[in-house]
Amino acid sequence: MADISTKSKQGRRARLTALQIERLHAPGKHPVGDGLYLQITGTNTKSWLFRFRFRGRRREMGLGSFPLIGTAAAREALLDCRRHLAASRDPLEERRTAAREASRPAAKTFNALAIEYIAAHKAGWRNPKSAAQWQASLDTYAAPRIGNVTVDAITFDDVMAVLTPIWRTKTETASRVRGRIEAILNYARVHGYRTGENPARWRGHLDQVLPPKTRVRKPKHHAAIAIDKMPAAMTALAKAQGPASLVVRFTTLTAARISEVVGAMWSEIDLRRAVWTVPAGRTKTHAPHRVPLSEQALAVLKQTAAIKQDERLFPGFTRGRPLSLTGAMQALRRAAPSSPGITVHGLRSTFRDWCAEHGEDRTLAEIALSHVVGDETEQAYARSDLIDRRRLLMQRWADFAAGDGPQKKTTPANSRGR
C-alpha cells in the first residue's frame, strides 16, 4: 500500500497537509492521520476512509469523496466518529440507523391510519356495514385515548388504557377493538410507520394481563324453542297467513341461516332435483352450500310461488325488498307463545339438539348447518358434501318438525335427481 505521509523527528507519522493530499495520485490507501485514509483508485478517484476497531473487529467506513469533501470536513467527520467510539458506539451502525430513520415516512396518527386501513380493506369485507362498525368502535373507544398519538409512539400502557375500562363490562366489544388496534398497528409496521413489537397483540402478551373473554362473560346464545314444542309451533305457522310464516317454516325445514333464506332467489332452486344452492357470497364459510329439500320444504315453495312478485323467494311488503328479519321473529313468537325470547336463529339449535337426541350422524348434522367440519387435514380430504345421506336426514327432521310422525315414508319422492 502506498504511503507518502512524512515522519517527524520523533519518528511518529505527521498529518499530511491539504497541499500534500492534493498532490497524491498513486493508487492505494494513504494514511492521513488518526485512522483517516485517502483512498485512490486506478482511475485517480479519491475518497476518504476511516479505519477503526470496534469490540475487537476491524472495520472501514467511507466518509465521502474528495475534493467534494475537503480535508477540514473529512477531519471533522473523523472527530465525530471518534466521539461515537469513545461512547462505545459503532459509528458505522450509528450512521446506518440515522439513514433508516431519515428514510422512514412521516409519522401518522392512529386516527389517520385507521381511516387509511379501513379504506384499503373494506372492499374485501363481506358485510357492507363492517367499515362503519370498525370506524364507530374505534371512534368511541380508541380515539379518545390514542387517536391523536402517532402510531410509532403507541405503547402497551396506551392499549391497556383503551381496553381496561371496557374489558369486563363490554367484553365482546373490547375484544373486537383490541383486534382492530392490532391490525392497524401491524399495517403501520408494514408501511414503515412504526417498528418493534405490536403492543395490542394477544397471544404471549395481552393474554398475560387480561382474562380471556370467555371467562369474563359466557357467550350469549340465541334462545331456542324446545324440541317437543317444535311440531305445535310448525302447525301454528302453517295455519298463519303471510310470507313471514312461510319464511320461518322454510328456515326450520332447511336448518339454514335466516339471512340466507330472506336473500334466496328462485334461480338458486332446482325443483327437479329438489336442491337449493346457497351461493358462496351469502354463506358464512365462503363456499356454496347445497341444501336438499324435503317434501315439506317443497310444499312451502309451492305456496310462496303463488305470491311471487319478483326473483326473490320470499318477497317483503315493499316491492323489490326482502322480508324483514323482525317480521320473521314476530311470526315465530306468535306461533310459540309459551317460549318467550326465542329467536329464528335459535331454530338451528333446535335442529342440532334433535339430531343429538335421535342419534343422527354428527358429521351430517354439521354439514347440514353449513359448519366447517374437522381440521385442515380432514377438510382437504372431504371432497363430498354427502347430499344423498343428508337428504334422508332432512326428511326425517321435516317429518318430526311438521308433526307428520315417524310412520311417514322418509325417502323423498323426488330424490332421483341427487
**Cβ count within 10 A of residue 120:** 11
Rounded to an integer, what distance in angstroms lies between the CA atom of residue 339 and that of residue 347? 12
Beta bridge partners of 269: 276
Give the list of residues 6+ apart from residue 349 with CB closer than 8 angstroms, or none: 221, 222, 224
Query: How confident is the model at residue 326, as a pLDDT?
Result: 85
* 412, 393 contact by CB (below 8 A): no
- Average pLDDT of adjacent 10-residue blocks, the chain of 418 residues: 37 62 84 87 86 89 87 89 89 82 76 94 87 90 93 94 91 92 95 91 92 73 84 93 89 93 92 94 88 96 85 76 82 90 90 89 90 58 78 96 61 41
Q: Report pLDDT for 104.
A: 65
Region label for 174, one of left (φ > 0), alpha (ψ between -120 and 50) or beta (otherwise): alpha
Cell numbers at 124, concatenated:
374485501
Is domain 110-216 annotated with CATH 1.10.150.130? yes
Provide the 8-state DSSP code for 4: -
Residue at grid coordinates 392490532: 182
Question: CA 31: distance to chain centroid?
Answer: 58
Q: State the pLDDT at residue 8.
A: 38
> How far apart (Å, rounded) are the C-alpha atoms in residues 59 and 154?
36
Give the residue carrying C-alpha cell 505521509. Answer: 5
3-class DSSP state of 269: strand
Q: Considering only the top CATH level, what class is 18-103?
A: alpha beta
Please report the pLDDT score of residue 218 as a whole number.
56
Going along 152-251, which residue ranges are E strands? none
Question: Cα–Cα distance between 21 and 246 in angstroms, integer?
Answer: 97
- pTM value? 0.52
Per-domain residue ranges for the chain?
18-103, 110-216, 227-417
DSSP H/E element including 111: helix 110-121
Sign of CA dihedral 350, 351, 357, 358: positive
Q: Does 110-216 match 18-103 at the fold level?
A: no
Q: Which CATH architecture has domain 227-417?
A: Orthogonal Bundle (1.10)
